[in-house]
Amino acid sequence: MYVYAFLEDFVLLYPVYAVLFADTGLSPAAISSLFVIWSVTTFALELPSGLWADVFSRRLLLVASPLLAGAGFGSWVLFPSYPAFAVGFVLWGVGSALRSGTMQALVYEELERAGAAGSYARLIGRSEAVALLAVVAASAVASPVLAAGGYR
């Protein structure tokens, strides 16, 4: 669970994606509209994704989530343009919606099955701390990587 949390948020583009968008010539309004696309996608799929987590394998959804987000980030660097950024934000939003709640439900069910449901809050809290550390680590690594090779 901790490795998943770390890898899910260790994204070198997080600290520099606004720079990528601006370097591509997007205006602040266009960049803001991309975040609206992500927010609307995530919000619109929040309820259906909860249903999907009850109907389909939660583990499968947790595998699909970072793959979708990764495909979205890949579209940004392979085809740096507003349409590719928009597609990337939609994919990222779908991935976020799939992950939201799915991990928590899976962890709780597994802990309950093992008779350790009382450990849930501690484990989820640690997992979120690990995810935050991943963002910090990605931020520290992103600048040297960007300086060495750019976005591609």
- pLDDT recorded at residue 152: 62
Confidence band (pLDDT; 50, 70, 90) for 151?
low
Number of residues that make up the chain:
152
Instruction: Provide the domain limits for residue 135.
Output: 2-149
DSSP-assigned letters across all residues of 76-100: HHHS-SHHHHHHHHHHHHHHHHHHT
pLDDT tens digits for 93-141? Answer: 999 999 888 888 899 999 999 999 999 999 999 999 999 999 999 999 9
pLDDT tens digits for 10-66? Answer: 998 888 888 889 999 999 999 999 999 999 999 999 888 888 888 989 999 999 999
Distances (CA, A) of 9 to 112, 115, 128, 135, 142: 27, 29, 10, 6, 13
- pLDDT recorded at residue 89: 97
Backbone angles phi, psi at 126, to 5 degrees: -65, -40
- pLDDT recorded at residue 53: 87
On average, the pLDDT of the chain sits at 92
The stretches of the chain forming alpha helices (DSSP H) are 2-9, 17-23, 28-55, 58-78, 82-99, 102-113, 120-149
The total of structural domains in the chain comes to 1
C-beta separation of 71 from 91 below 8 A:
yes
> From CA 19, how far away is CA 24, in angstroms rounded?
8
Among candidate residues 134, 46, 37, the one with its CA nearest the CA of residue 88 = 37
Count, in order, helices (H) and strands (E) of the chain: 7, 0
- pLDDT of 1 > 90? The answer is no
Q: Is the pTM of this model over 0.75?
A: yes
- pLDDT recorded at residue 33: 97
C-beta separation of 11 from 117 below 8 A:
no
pLDDT tens digits for 62-103? Answer: 999 999 999 999 999 999 999 999 999 999 999 999 988 888
33: domain CATH number is 1.20.1250.20
- pLDDT recorded at residue 68: 96
Neighbours of 62 (CB within 10 A): 18
